[in-house]
Amino acid sequence: MKFKKVLTLRTVVATSAGLTLASATFVAAVQVASFLAGDSAWLAILIAGVLCLGAGMCFSELNDILPSAAGIRLYFGRAFGDRFALTVSLLYMLVIMGVVGAESFILASILNYVVPAVDSLVWIVVMLVAVTLMNIRGIRIAGAFQDIITYGLMVSVMVLSFIGLDKLNYHIEAPLVTGGTAGLFSAVAVGVFLFVGFEWVTPLAEEVTDSRVISKGMFIAVGLLSIIYSLFTVVMAATVPRSELAGSPIPQLLFARSVMGEAGVVWIVVISLAASITTFNAGLLSVSRFFYAAAREHALPAVFSKVSMRYLTPWVSILAVFVVGLTLSVLILFTGKYLVLVNMAAAAECIVYSLAGIAVLILRKKMAYRERQFTIPMGPVIPVLTTIVFALLAVGVFIQDYYAALWVAVGLGILWWYVNRVVPVLKEKHRASRPASRRRPRPDDKDS
């Protein structure tokens, strides 16, 4: 069964930007500013955005060669082999759901500050249930919702930034003072994580009106986010003492209160709720499609490939993502250990970006015969640089957080066992259930 091709460029941009526009990114933005001596956070963020554009080019070329809901599962499968690709892809999809858990912690901190009488868990459950139901009803509904919330969120952050800028009389003390190369490098490394997840629109390739809008959407999203993050971070760090911002999980609330008083607090609560909703909605759209595609290829139990006959959506996969997201949200909410998941997600993204650069180089040789509408300029330069830069960033994350490295290693071990032991059983079960006349080897079964 095929999905409806209803997603336009507007929704692709909203989905690409929606996952990165999370409440937790404001905490990362404060970290960017803390590495720099002056008000030059904008410079680090713009450099990070350029690096992410390089990764976006790699994903654009891969998506042009192999447009599919399987996304990185298919790209890496063709480049590195099915087992390796499935292991990395499953880890990627599971770890990135930790972003939802981190979001829950930030959201709980904000809501407890404003409305201490209401349990924050109630807000989280309502949000996740509402977004899940909209996705089950149909991607057109979910896409329209993503458009409204994401663009409204971007406009709100920009308006709040200009209000803060007005309070400063449009004067920034030291916009070019970085304090040294080392600080700028660290700031750029953290700044890259502000864009994490922008490439999650690639699994929507089977539902867009034109496959080229995936590439355009990613580039536009990174460009918009670069401007929004740059302005907001500089103004926030110039308005509120950095020592106060660095010690708080809710720096955006402190900033809003300093420039608008209680009205700013109410506004930032609305922004934070919208940010959390867009994060989960964008993740749900993309991850559920990955689970569906993996089940369609018999890498996950067949139940995940079930599609609603009424709404034409993979409802079982959507519910599975809801359960994982809610479980992580509850764990982080009660333990407060959100930084490990954030670092795991950041490292997993860097690994995937690095592998995407290698995959481009390999598939240019393996699939040279495939006609392309998009090819990265300057030959191998951008894919090679993307591979090296993001590999170094991943190593940097692991050095900084040994627990993140440990859990990623454990996850890889478990998933490697699953891919080598369980997946062959699922594929054999599928072969046995087919009529003898139709039992032909599938291309994706070779490496499993």
Q: What is the pLDDT of residues 185-227, one digit of tens each?
A: 778 877 887 887 787 777 666 666 666 787 888 889 999 999 9
CA dihedral in degrees (405, 408, 409, 410; nearest 10)? Answer: 120
Residues in the chain, how many? 448
> What is the per-residue pLDDT for 220?
92
- Report whether 12 contacts 21 (CB < 8 A): no
**pLDDT computed for residue 361 by the predictor:** 94
429 Cβ partners below 8 Å, 6+ apart?
none
Reduce the secondary structure of the chain to three states and give it as a string: CCCCCCECHHHHHHHHHHHHCCCHHHHHHHHHHHCCCCCCHHHHHHHHHHHHHHHHHHHHHHHHHCCCCCCHHHHHHHHHCHHHHHHHHHHHHHHHCHHHHHHHHHHHHHHHHHCCCCCHHHHHHHHHHHHHHHHHHCHHHHHHHHHHHHHHHHHHHHHHHHHHHHHCCCCCCCCCCCCCHHHHHHHHHHHHHHHCCHHHHHHHCCCECCCHHHHHHHHHHHHHHHHHHHHHHHHHHHHCCHHHHHCCCCHHHHHHHHHHCHHHHHHHHHHHHHHHHHHHHHHHHHHHHHHHHHHHCCCCCHHHHCCCCCCCCCHHHHHHHHHHHHHHHHHHHHHCCHHHHHHHHHHHHHHHHHHHHHHHHHHHHHCCCCCCCCCCCCCCHHHHHHHHHHHHHHHHHHHHCHHHHHHHHHHHHHHHHHHHHHHHHHHHHHHHHCCHHHCCCCHHHCCC
On whether the CB atoms of residues 98 and 326 are closer than 8 A, the answer is no
Instruction: Give 446 or 355, the one with higher predicted confidence.
Output: 355
Q: What pLDDT, on a 0 to 100 scale, did the predictor assign at position 91? A: 85
Query: Across the chain, what does the average pLDDT equal?
Result: 81
Q: Per DSSP, what are the bridge partners of residue 208?
A: 7
- Quote the percentage of the chain above a pLDDT of 70: 88
Q: pTM for this structure? A: 0.79
Q: What is the pLDDT of residues 317-356, one digit of tens each?
A: 888 888 888 888 888 777 777 777 777 877 888 888 999 9
**pLDDT at residue 292 above 70?**
yes
Q: For residues 203 and 86, which has the higher predicted lDDT (pLDDT)?
A: 86
Of residues 213 and 145, which shows the higher confidence score? 213
Please compute the mean of the pLDDT values over residues 399-403 and round it to a whole number.
81
Alpha carbon dihedral 445, 83, 370, 64, in 10-degree steps, equals 120
**In order of start, what are the domains of the chain with their CATH numbers?**
10-445 (1.20.1740.10)
Confidence band for 363, pLDDT divided at 50, 70 and 90: very high
